[in-house]
Amino acid sequence: MAGDPVGQAEGEEVRAPQLTVEQAQELVQFDLSMRMVPFLDRHLIFPVFNFLQETGLYNTTAIQRAQLVLLAETNMIDWALETYTLIGEEQPQELIERRDMVLEQLEDSRAKVLPLLEILEEEEKVQRVAACKSIDELCQTFELDPTVIDGLVHYAKLQYDCGNYTLSGELLKHYRSMISQDTERPVMTSKQVSCIWGSLASFILNREFEEATDGAERAADVIFKINDFLDTTKMSKKEVLLQRTWLLHWSLFPIFTAEKVEVKLLDFFLNEKSLSCISLSCPHLFRYVASCLILQKRLKHLMKDTVWIIQHESAVYSDPVTRFLLALYVDMDFDEAQLELQKCEKVCKVDYFLSRHWAEFQENARLLIFETYCRIHQCINIGMIATKLNMEAEEAEVWIVKLIQNAKLDARIDSEKSRVVMSKAPPSVYQQVIEKTKNLSFRSTMLLSNLEKREKEMRNNTT
């Protein structure tokens, strides 16, 4: 009955790497998990804790005890009992008794909704369900007691608490589909909203991020539904801000743990409304805003404006990832950017969402350094740029050659002088007109200033 949280199979013992006290103290400053836990469902915290256990950043027993606190409010009794054994403590008798109680609750709840479950197992009947215009019509068509519909939500919640996320997600999908067809209840109730959040949690824990071939719903779709609801809800501004804060934290899972990130999801995370919410209630998420800019090359058009916001909020939140962008795009300090990039490796090492992205992160960050350097230098010494990129000269030369070929940069390698020569494209006619007009304006201003100065001198001489 124990759930199988993302990142650890049931019964699998996690062996943490050995870190010295000094190493742990250096890395722990980059761990954001304690800031994020208040905005995550307890089931979503398990994969984060499992990851921390694998890093060796904290004492394994301490993390297992923290997991027990979380498990106490779930129905994953088997996992809790197993954890007590792992930390060398006797399994509590009340927990063993509670296991039997949970099994009984599951059986009772299933018995109440069994007529509906049998209908949902047959494709032909599912299609008939979809044709019903209201819950009353559905109940009349299949001779169901109306309480069975709401009972389905209770049963789905029990399954979720037991860690059976796949079944829970399927049950909630059917419930939401039936309710959405009910034209007699156009206003979304708090229970329906709760079910949408439950669906999102199930999708995340089942890693249902990619678009299904049958067009089935996935995590991104549910995120957009919740976002649309928050745009039109009559809840207080304080409550909406809290819900948006939760949604932004939950959206990190499909953004950073999916194989392919949907563009619309990135747009949602980086839009003005989301950035305002991050500024107000969770500035630590600027780490992930900055990471998106580095990892996603398609977001270059957002770089300037978003970096300005990051700079504006730097007094509230700052870490190596945000400071890397500020050093590169605000201060143009390539030495500082290189130092912050080295620290970014330590950040990624202890960050659940970024740990698998370090290689890509480093490659894209080096590309940003190179591109920025090229914009202000025509001839670039390979040894110097290698230092900025934290690479050996030979390694940097090979990297630059591949970059020139792949990105089709207008540049060439001068091997004799060990440098990269950038070819400046001639400015457009439009740009030339602007430049010449700018010069004429400057000359006119200077001429007028000189004439005024000369006139003043003549007056002084006259008097």
Q: Is the pLDDT of residue 123 over 70?
A: yes
Q: Is the pLDDT of residue 370 over 50?
A: yes
Lowest mean pLDDT among 23-27, 103-107, 456-460: 456-460
Nearest 10 degrees: CA dihedral of 336, 338, 339, 343? 130
Q: Is the dihedral of CA 95, 100, 103, 108 positive or negative?
A: negative
- The DSSP secondary structure of 105-160, one letter per residue, reads HHHHHHHHHHHHHHHHT-HHHHHHHHH-SSHHHHHHHHT--THHHHHHHHHHHHHH
* pLDDT of 381 over the 50 cut: yes
178 or 416, higher pLDDT:
178
Question: Would you call 10 helix, strand, or coil by DSSP?
Answer: coil
Per-residue pLDDT at 68: 93
Assign 48 a pLDDT band (cuts: 50, 70, 90): very high
- Give percent of the chain above pLDDT 70: 81
Q: What is the pLDDT of residues 284-294, one digit of tens each?
A: 999 999 999 99
Task: Express as a percent the part of the chain with pLDDT over 90.
Answer: 52
Residue 209: its pLDDT value, please? 83
pLDDT band at residue 7, thresholds of 50, 70 and 90?
very low
Distance CA 439, CA 376 (A): 21
pTM of the model: 0.82
Torsion of CA 131, 137, 143, 149, to 10 degrees: 90
Per-residue pLDDT, averaged over 405-421, amounts to 65
Q: Over range 364-372, report the average pLDDT.
A: 87
> Of 225, 229, 126, whose CA–CA distance to 170 is shortest?
126
pLDDT (tens digit per residue) in 427-448: 455 445 544 554 454 455 445 5
422: β partners = 411
Overall average pLDDT of the 378-401 stretch: 75
pLDDT confidence of residue 457: 73
Q: Which two tokens stand for residue 189?
A: 């109730």
- Does 425 score more than 80 pLDDT? no
For residues 257-268, give the mean pLDDT: 91
Instruction: Give the position of tokens 């994969």.
Output: 47
- In this predicted model, what pLDDT tens digit does every residue of 187-228 receive, in sequence order? 677 888 899 999 999 999 998 887 655 557 888 999 999 999
pLDDT at 212: 57
Average pLDDT of the residues in 295-310: 91
Residue 163: other Cβ atoms inside 10 A: 24
Rounded to whole angstroms, the Cα distance separating 457 from 233 reads: 71
Can you give the pLDDT at residue 186?
58
Buried b (16+ CB within 10 A) or exposed e, 425-439: eeeeeeeeeeeeeee
* pLDDT at residue 38 is higher than 70: yes
- The reported pLDDT for the residue numbered 135 is 86
Q: In the structure, what pLDDT confidence band is assigned to residue 14 with cuts at 50, 70 and 90?
A: very low
Q: Give me the sheet containing 419-422, strands edge to edge.
A: 379-381, 419-422, 411-414
Residue 104: band (very low, low, confident or very high) from pLDDT cuts 50, 70, 90? very high
Measured CA to CA, the distance from residue 59 to residue 40 in angstroms comes to 22
Check residue 383 and give its pLDDT: 76
194 vs 10, which has greater pLDDT?
194
pLDDT surpasses 90 at 367:
no
Helix H or strand E encompassing 412: strand 411-414
Q: What average pLDDT is seen over the chain?
A: 84
pLDDT at 396 over 80: no
